[in-house]
Structure 1
Amino acid sequence: MAQQDTIERIDSGCHDTTDGGADDHSRNVEMIKAGTLATLVENLTRHDRLDAAFNRAFLTTYTYFTSGSELLGHLIDRFDNTQPPSTDSTEIEQWSTQTKPLIRLRVVNILRQWLEHFWSEPKGHDTDELLRTMRAFVQRVASEPETPTQQLDIIIQRRLSGQTYTKKSHPSISNPPKPILPRKLDKLQFMKIDAKEIARQLTILEAQTFSNIQREEFLHKNWQKKTTPLVAPNVRCLIRHSNQISNWVCGAVLAEPDLKKRAQVVDHLVNVASTCHQLQNYSAVISILSGLESAPIYRLARTWAMVTERSCNMLRPLQAMIVSAQNYQAYRETLRVAVPPCIPFLGLFLKDLTFIEDGNPALTSDGLINFHKYTMLATTVQEVQRWKEAPYCLQPVPELQEYLAKQLHSAVELHEMWDRSCELEPKGRGLSNRPRDLYTPTGGMSASMVVACMVLDD
């Protein structure tokens, strides 16, 4: 089919079709911006071109604009559509021998992808009925030529039995670095644990939760909902973990009454943050900076005056990475060039998803599904998901992880630490009186990212 015919066919139901840029021009790919559900399903199962990006976006976000039963109905109708496009004998022959078999194969493949990778239907009677309807369809068409349905039938049976498909991450081929252990694992003290090993164990803890996050947890702003059971348990767990790190950092500094030792705690925490940065655990980096730049710590002028020059020099690039200029361009660029494994800070992604959901209508002025909105949502979700493609090659130390988990869970909220900060340094911040000005905290810039994007009120 000619390119012009393709555009006209899409325009008949998706008349907001636009080109996707120079790269897409070179591949003859158009970006679907809007359309009816029937035409979107038609594009999902085209015989003449496989648009993998469109298919991922559709299957990632279909719950926004249709139900599972309605989608299945459209796919079955698409499979059963045996009406040739014309009465010309040559075109009828081409339809029967080439076009129709390819469409049917596409429908079967889309059903398989849906079930294996994009299934978002809640457990319950209605979903079981949907699966039984799907299986009845598969059994009905099993004898059709060039329609491989055996694997699809197996997947449906697995879904009916409650089994889920889990993508296995590729094991690392390298050996993990040997843990740096303190002399007494039974009597752990923060300052006697190597900063590099603290960063490693924090990364292992966060990576476990991050790898468990399911795609649907990012959709429909599920992390904000307090349903029972929770619909985004792993996102909420990572949010809580990030906030606990910030609280723990603040509490660790304020727990030391001696000025010199308090500055040494800051030095130690900076080393932890620097190693997290090297591990590409940007979630922990931002959480640690959030604690160091919180109001109770920011005001400790005498403490900051005693922080070593080395620590101050290490802090500057970390602070520069998360500066808010141009919508956090520096941080976004850091993520863009990073190679997994990596743990991104979720706050910015949740902010992006919220902006896309709230700032774009579900339907266009013509009453079509605003698929451009769902493409943006899917692209953002897929960007987060790709960081899970490779696991960290680090060795867990149960004693250290238990110690850190206990410290994080017992940390008090930041707003409860102000009085303690005033007790340690009654005069508070006075920049003009500081002996030296090696490093100036931002006074809560990164903390505002956490609070604005990730705060939980339960």
Structure 2
Amino acid sequence: MLYSSILNNVKDQRHARHDSSIASYGTSNNLRITKESQESMHRSFLFEESASESSVELDTSPMDIGVVPQTPQITGSAPSPFVMSERGATFDELVDRLLAQPASKADSKFSAIFLALYRKFAAPSRLLETIVERFDAFENDGGAHMMKAVNQLRHLAILEQWVGQYPGDFAFPRTKQRMVAFIARIAQSRIFTVAANEISSNLDLVLEDDDTNWCYSDKDRDANIENRTSTGSNSSTLVDHTSFSFMDQLSGTTLADDKSTSTTIGADTIKFSSGSSTTSSQIMLNTEAAQRAAQTLQPTPRHMLAKDQWRQLDEQPDDMVARELTRMDWIMFSSIRPRDLVRHVSSSEKAKCKNLVNVNRMIEHFNYIASWVKNYVLFRDKPKHRALMLEKLMRIARKLRELNNYNALGAIIAGIKSSCVQRLAATRELIPPNMGKDWARLELLMGSTRSHAAYRLAWENSSTERIPYLPLHLRDLASAQQGNATFVGDEKDGRVNWKKFEVMGEVVVSMQRAQGMPYRGLGGSRGEAHIKELVLDVKLKDEDVSSSLLDD
């Protein structure tokens, strides 16, 4: 089992933490996984602490991550002036908020959340059409010329952010052409030249990927429009819209051919994006590089664990081992695109998405590290040797905490809290008291008390490099996804249950921010090769080890 789906049995906690930015969830000693996601996956070693607030109680029950059918309570104050009604919000209302000047902290995060998740209820061409209509409406409103330009530049900044972060949304051929036509039109205005060049440089990265045909896609939307047209409907498509009148002049033009507006522009007095296109491009390139590097981090069991490897690990400096574990985790985390996490908790979409291999790889690595911890502790028979390795791993866990690598920290805690290690009473008696106290603090940090309140607080207040405790964030996404409808009432009414997407968006945006702060000094591209071998090249025994080998 692995932790790839989310909790089925969630107990209500009387003292559950209610966060303004995320749903409040109960805890459970057992996480369950669906049969379909169980195939070809091995046993999970994800464990949680008991929900008791008065003591650090070790929980030895394995947890998989299944789907939570219950509807979580979603809290949070509605931002002003856009109040999200209980009746939901229409698509036009959401786009108005997307394009408006931010008036609060919630508004400042709205664009990132909306662009990440709008595909759950609208196709890219519909959003592009709506933004262009809003852009053109300023030409006829009779307002001051400067105010028109400021508002239109804000619209173009949203477009630049959208293309830079989600180029796959523009990979459908007609959508590419429509965007090129619009950019060619605005490039004729001197005020918009910088904006046009910024967006055009991002269009060079447009390739078909998992985003292109995900959920509400342009392929399906165009097919529906063509069906309505063939049955006599007068509905027009975006390609016929007057905003895209340059389409005839651009017939036969491809993005690769359009070099006239692909110049990279730096800071400008208009301050359209302050070079954000370079940032967006670099993020995409970094993700692709991380995906290639992550493929080299698959376990390759070449030899059985022996005393030589055991001694070599014991002799390695704690901080060096922690840095190498963090390097591997960072590569895997960087290879995940935020929308992949949303797709991962939607079981109906898993089979269609190639990039979910990056999420699954990090999940499998979490389980592998937990198993690796258990194997190194149990390898030696005598309690004094086991205590040496157990203390070693506890010290490594402390270094991981200092590096804000919550994922590897959680994996080590999961391995040490497994039933086969917990039963080593004689070994634990040999652990120094000060080490035991420090370990208890780490368990409290990662424990499930009050809906993981300690970890959530630490995560939110980690301002430097950090790697998330992925199981919990996947659980939050799954709870919001499975426990809340996308639309309020009938889908035909078009009223979006935006409170659901606010919860999901908080997770997605926090992942994006973490990926935007890379670690430094973790050992280069190869890292500490010898430590990597001690981690990935040994053959591990599964959990079903003879009980005669487990007891002290």
TM-score w.r.t. the length of structure 2 is 0.61
Summarize the alignment of residues 159-174 of structure 1 with structure 2, pairs less than 5 Å apart. 159=206, 160-161=255-256, 165-167=281-283
Larger radius of gyration: 1
**Distance of 1:233 and 1:130 partners within structure 2:** 27
Summarize the alignment of residues 295-314 of structure 1 with structure 2, pairs less than 5 Å apart. 295-314=419-438
Residue 376 of structure 1 is matched in structure 2 by 503
- 5+ residue gaps in structure 1? 1-17, 85-91, 170-184, 429-458
- 1:407 aligned to 535, 538, 542, which one? 535
**Distance of 1:114 and 1:199 partners within structure 2:** 36
SS at match of 2:89: coil
> Given the alignment of the two structures, is residue 315 of structure 1 paired with residue 434 of structure 2, yes or no?
no
Letter aligned with residue 120 of structure 2: Y
Letter aligned with residue 508 of structure 2: V
Residue 133 of structure 1 is matched in structure 2 by 178
> Given the alignment of the two structures, is residue 385 of structure 1 paired with residue 512 of structure 2, yes or no?
yes
- 2:462 aligned to 310, 314, 338, which one? 338
- 2:109 aligned to 46, 53, 57, which one? 53
Q: Which has the higher helix share?
A: 1
- 2:312 aligned to 189, 194, 208, which one? 189
Per-residue CA deviation, residues 370-416 of structure 1 (Å, 9 max, x unaligned), is 12211221111112222233333334285844543553364536533
| Change over 3 Å in CA distance of 1:390–1:233 after alignment to 2 | same
Q: Is the 8 A contact 1:245 1:408 kept in 2?
A: no
**Distance of 2:462 and 2:403 partners within structure 1:** 10
Residue 192 of structure 2 is matched in structure 1 by 147
Letter aligned with residue 161 of structure 2: Q
> Given the alignment of the two structures, is residue 108 of structure 1 paired with residue 156 of structure 2, yes or no?
yes
**Distance of 2:382 and 2:97 partners within structure 1:** 68
Residue 169 of structure 2 is matched in structure 1 by 121
| Change over 3 Å in CA distance of 1:400–1:81 after alignment to 2 | closer
Pairwise CA RMSD? 3.3
Letter aligned with residue 518 of structure 2: P
Q: Which moved more, 1:69-78 or 1:41-50?
A: 41-50
Summarize the alignment of residues 35-54 of structure 1 with structure 2, pairs less than 5 Å apart. 35-46=89-100, 51-54=107-110
1:98 deviation in Å? 5.6
Letter aligned with residue 315 of structure 1: W
Per-residue CA deviation, residues 62-113 of structure 1 (Å, 9 max, x unaligned), is 11111112222222222333696xxxxxxx532x746654443333222111
| Change over 3 Å in CA distance of 1:136–1:192 after alignment to 2 | same
Summarize the alignment of residues 247-396 of structure 1 with structure 2, pairs less than 5 Å apart. 247-365=371-489, 367=493, 368-396=495-523
Letter aligned with residue 380 of structure 1: V
1:286 deviation in Å? 1.2
1:229 deviation in Å? 5.9
**Distance of 1:19 and 1:316 partners within structure 2:** 32
Per-residue CA deviation, residues 251-283 of structure 1 (Å, 9 max, x unaligned), is 111111222211211111111111111222111
Per-residue CA deviation, residues 415-443 of structure 1 (Å, 9 max, x unaligned), is 333x2xx12355x7xxxxxxxxxxxxxxx
**Distance of 2:461 and 2:155 partners within structure 1:** 36
Letter aligned with residue 91 of structure 2: L
| Change over 3 Å in CA distance of 1:405–1:130 after alignment to 2 | farther
**Distance of 1:119 and 1:269 partners within structure 2:** 42
1:188 deviation in Å? 7.2
- Structure ranking higher on relative contact order (CA contacts 8 Å, 6+ apart): 2
**Distance of 2:343 and 2:473 partners within structure 1:** 14
- 5+ residue gaps in structure 2? 1-74, 207-254, 258-277, 287-307
Per-residue CA deviation, residues 280-302 of structure 1 (Å, 9 max, x unaligned), is 21111111111011011111222
Letter aligned with residue 93 of structure 1: G
Q: Is the 8 A contact 1:273 1:288 kept in 2?
A: yes
**Distance of 2:523 and 2:76 partners within structure 1:** 49
Q: Is the 8 A contact 2:345 2:477 kept in 1?
A: no
TM-score w.r.t. the length of structure 1 is 0.72
Residue 93 of structure 1 is matched in structure 2 by 142
Q: Is the 8 A contact 1:269 1:288 kept in 2?
A: yes
| Change over 3 Å in CA distance of 1:278–1:152 after alignment to 2 | closer
* Number of residues of Structure 1 aligned to a counterpart in Structure 2: 376
**Distance of 2:515 and 2:139 partners within structure 1:** 44
SS at match of 1:199: helix
Q: Percent identity?
A: 24
